[in-house]
Amino acid sequence: MSKSSKIFYIVLLLGALVAPFIGYPIFLMKVLSFALFACAFNLLIGFTGLLSFGHAMFFGGAAYLCAYAAKAWGLTPELAVLFGSVGAAILGYFVGWLAVRRQGIYFAMVSLALSQMVYFICVQAPFTGAEDGLQNVPRGKLFGLVSLADDTTMYYFVLAVFIFGFWLIYRTIHSPFGQVLKSIRENEPRALSLGYDVDKYKLVAFVISAGLAGMAGALKSLSLGLATLTDVTWQMSGEVVLMTLLGGMGTILGPVVGAASIVTMQNYLASLGSWVTIIMGIIFVVCVLAFRRGIVGEIAHRLKK
Amino acid sequence: MTEIFGVPTQALWGQLMIGLVNGSFYAMLSLGLAVIFGMLNVVNFAHGAFYMMGAFFSWMLLNLLGIGYWWSLLLAPIGVALVGIVIEKTMLRWLYQLDHLYGLLLTFGIALIIEGVFRDQYGVSGQPYDLPEIFKGAFDLGFMMLPKYRAWVIVACLTICFATWFVIERTRLGSYLRAGTENPKLVQAFGINVPLMVTLTYAFGVGLAGLAGVLAAPVYQVNPLMGSNIVIVVFAVVVIGGMGSILGAILTGIALGLIEGLTKVFYPEASATVVFIIMAIVLLIRPAGLFGREK
């Protein structure tokens, strides 16, 4: 990491530490959860070249698992988040195992279809509370000691988990493993001919991404205190695509910027009802037609010139 | 009453009939998707939205302008096709040189816009579409009652599907289309206006979705969400069948509709997921799809 980017990350960290004294902690926690979700998604689309159109199944699935573990079994928050993440990673293993059999556009359709299946299972399963979802999820005590009932305390817990997830993605991208992923993105047949077991690499990337998306969902359900069907719908899968696209696919910070922009927009425009969907559609169209680098990608491109 | 495996035959035939109706819609939609993908290399996520649009156009023609079912069978798909032409000319056109994923993302955005506009206007509750007088009532087949309209939908869908298959596989126009799918540059060199053909293919594909919507309007309620619910199932159908073959798309669509119907009789809990489970099994056994060619 260069010196200037080190300073940049330290400034960001300081900003994140003082943020709850300036903004609403609940809102910030939502932003952080979605930012982690988008970063996890970006590991696939941006660094492996796989478009998963079903990431909501990991996000929403883990939200349910975490909420259930915290509510029904009284698990401490760190264990509940871990439980949700591991559950999502296991689901990711099976989904990835099926989906890597097909490439490109078919991969997207397979992941979307499997995620819709998970949605229907969540509608019918006895422990998800159907239309009501799981409400009043207790935040519990961190390690059984520190109560997270206070929003600011909870925020720092969410921030810590986010930084862990972000660091894991950063390390993955910059490892030899990450270099192989990028070579798959750039030229899959060549990576194959160089002797890499492409499908295995894709599967591992998929499992990491699914686990972290699950971690994001678990954080969201703990900080907002509820897990609902909304988190598992295909619209949610679309939202994370949009966040990543808007922020910049294949950039490290892009998904964070994209998630913050979309969550902020949804927050301010919530009263407009269906117009939120229309605006999101318009952003999609504009990004694809004229703004494919995304916000961060565009800035990086300008700086390089 | 006669029973099969503890299920009254009446219920079995009834569900098979509904399955056949659903299967006909799957077939029409996956057919349009396959034709569009073949020519444009775009997976049209907005396909469900166009289906919904067709149903709404038909509803609006009847309730706002007093134009009845038969005219809307013609007018609504044309309206949908015109919208398709505008979208292809102004947006999709710029993406053909890029990765296929961008086509999917763009049409996803378009689907959100269309769905959002209709939801803003009509909410999420369904609008009933009154059946034309001629379709009220049912045929008595002895072993079951067959509602007239359902019979008409099945006949109409199958006729349209096989007509499309015939045009593409057996006529001169279809041969241009197939040649354009294989090698657009060469076809253009022979003096055929390929960009126009691409536009018309997209218009035809989404028009087909619109027509399916008109046919579906009296069966289901006309609802802004009807499109997104069906399009994901149709994607699974397309993965199962493979997009390489027209006939394959039709047969897979109908077969899955029937299987869904059977599941509703014997194990209703799985009826919503059975298509996806079959997709998973097909991926394990034949990753390229039942009628697909591995590229």
Distance (Å, whole) CA A28 – CA A271? 20
The set of residues, in sequence order, having a beta carbon less than 8 Å from that of B124 and lying 6+ positions away, is: B223, B224, B225
Q: Do B108 and A108 touch (CB under 8 A)?
A: no
For chains A and B, CB pairs below 8 A equal: 117
Residue A218's pLDDT is 93
Which among A136, A21, A114, A139 has a CA at the least distance from the CA of A61? A114
Which among A215, A240, A198, A294 has a CA at the least distance from the CA of A111? A240
Question: Considering only CB atoms, which chain A residues are within 8 Å of B113?
Answer: 277-278, 281-282, 285
Distance (Å, whole) CA A60 – CA A118? 9
Which among A240, A133, A170, A159 has a CA at the least distance from the CA of B105? A240
Phi and psi dihedrals of B16, rounded to 5? Answer: -60, -40
Name the closest residue on chain A to residue B124, using Cα atoms.
Answer: A274
* ipTM score assigned to the predicted complex: 0.87
Q: Do B236 and A113 touch (CB under 8 A)?
A: yes
pLDDT in tens for each of the 295 residues of chain B?
A: 566 666 777 778 888 888 899 999 999 999 999 888 888 888 899 999 999 999 999 999 988 888 888 888 999 999 999 999 999 999 988 888 888 888 889 999 999 999 999 988 888 888 888 787 777 777 777 777 788 888 899 999 999 999 998 998 888 888 888 888 888 888 888 888 888 888 999 999 999 999 999 999 888 888 888 888 899 889 888 888 877 778 888 899 999 999 998 888 888 888 888 888 888 888 888 877 788 665 4
Q: Which two tokens stand for residue B95?
A: 């993406």
CB B75 within 8 A of CB B212: no
pLDDT tens per residue, range A219-255:
999 998 888 888 888 889 999 999 999 999 889 999 9
Distance (Å, whole) CA B80 – CA B110? 13
pLDDT tens per residue, range A142-157:
777 777 778 888 899 9
Q: Do A238 and B108 touch (CB under 8 A)?
A: yes
User: Which 3 state secondary structure label does DSSP give A223?
Assistant: helix
Q: Parallel, antiparallel, or unpaired for β B7-8 and A141-142?
A: unpaired
pLDDT surpassing 80 at residue A40:
yes
Kindly tell me the burial class for residue A2, based on how many C-beta atoms sit within 10 Å of its own C-beta (0-12, 13-18, 19 or more): exposed
Name the closest residue on chain B to residue A101, using Cα atoms.
Answer: B287
Q: Which two tokens stand for residue A125?
A: 């399963």
Residue A94's pLDDT is 93
User: Which 3 state secondary structure label does DSSP give B139?
Assistant: strand
Q: Which two tokens stand for residue A132?
A: 């009501």
Q: Which two tokens stand for residue A86?
A: 């591991």
The set of residues, in sequence order, having a beta carbon less than 8 Å from that of A229 and lying 6+ positions away, is: A60, A119, A122, A123, A128, A130, A131, A133
pLDDT surpassing 90 at residue A17:
no
Own/partner pairs for B160-169, CB < 8 Å, 24+ apart?
B160/B28, B160/B208, B160/B211, B161/B24, B161/B27, B161/B28, B161/B31, B161/B250, B162/B250, B164/B31, B164/B35, B164/B208, B164/B246, B165/B246, B165/B247, B165/B250, B168/B35, B168/B246, B169/B246, B169/B247
Chain A contact residues (CB < 8 Å to B): 51, 53, 98-99, 101-102, 104-106, 108-110, 112-114, 116-117, 120-121, 123-124, 234, 238, 241, 245, 273-278, 280-285, 287-289, 292
Own/partner pairs for B153-156, CB < 8 Å, 24+ apart?
B153/B21, B153/B24, B153/B215, B153/B216, B153/B219, B154/B20, B154/B21, B154/B24, B156/B215
Question: Considering only CB atoms, which chain A residues are within 8 Å of B105?
Answer: 241, 245, 284, 287-288
Strand partners, B139: B146
Distance from CA of A36 to the nearest CA of B (A): 21
Residue A23's pLDDT is 81
Residue B293's pLDDT is 62
Distance (Å, whole) CA A278 – CA B287? 36
- The continuous run of DSSP H or E covering B9 comes out as helix B9-40
Altogether, the residues listed in chain A come to a count of: 305
B46: contact with A, CB 8 A cutoff? no
Report CA-CA distances (Å) from B8 to B15, B264, B272: 11, 13, 22
Region A196-218: mean pLDDT is 93
Residue B1's pLDDT is 52
At CA A51, angle to CA A46 and CA A54, rounded to 5? 125
Question: B244-280 burial string, b = 16+ CB within 10 Å, else e?
Answer: bbbebbbbbbbbbbbbbbbbbbeeeebbbbbbbebbb
Q: Which two tokens stand for residue A112?
A: 């979307």
Distance from CA of A285 to the nearest CA of B (A): 5
DSSP letter for A170, please. H
- Nearest beta carbon to residue A106 from set B91, B112, B239: B239
Q: Which two tokens stand for residue A185?
A: 């993105």
Residue B295's pLDDT is 45
Q: Do A281 and B91 touch (CB under 8 A)?
A: no
Distance (Å, whole) CA A173 – CA A254? 14
Question: Considering only CB atoms, which chain A residues are within 8 Å of B235?
Answer: 109, 112-113
Query: Of A93, A240, A284, A292, which to mutate for an interface test with B (greatest number of B Cβ within 10 Å)?
Result: A284
Distance (Å, whole) CA A64 – CA A144? 21
Phi and psi dihedrals of B145, rounded to 5? Answer: -95, 130
Which among A208, A141, A150, A205 has a CA at the least distance from the CA of A179? A205
DSSP letter string, A50-93: ---S-THHHHHHHHHHHHHHHHHS---HHHHHHHHHHHHHHHHH
Q: Do A284 and B95 touch (CB under 8 A)?
A: no
Question: Considering only CB atoms, which chain A residues are within 8 Å of B116?
Answer: 274-278, 281
Q: Which two tokens stand for residue B101?
A: 């994923």
Distance (Å, whole) CA A89 – CA A83? 10
Q: Do A278 and B43 touch (CB under 8 A)?
A: no
Which among B168, B171, B172 has a CA at the least distance from the CA of B160? B168
- Nearest beta carbon to residue A288 from set B102, B233, B283: B102
Q: Which two tokens stand for residue B229?
A: 């619910």
B94: contact with A, CB 8 A cutoff? yes
Q: Do B287 and A288 touch (CB under 8 A)?
A: no
CB B244 within 8 A of CB B292: yes
pLDDT tens per residue, range A163-204:
999 999 999 999 999 999 999 988 888 988 888 889 999 999
pLDDT tens per residue, range A232-241:
888 899 999 9
Q: Which two tokens stand for residue A159?
A: 């921030």
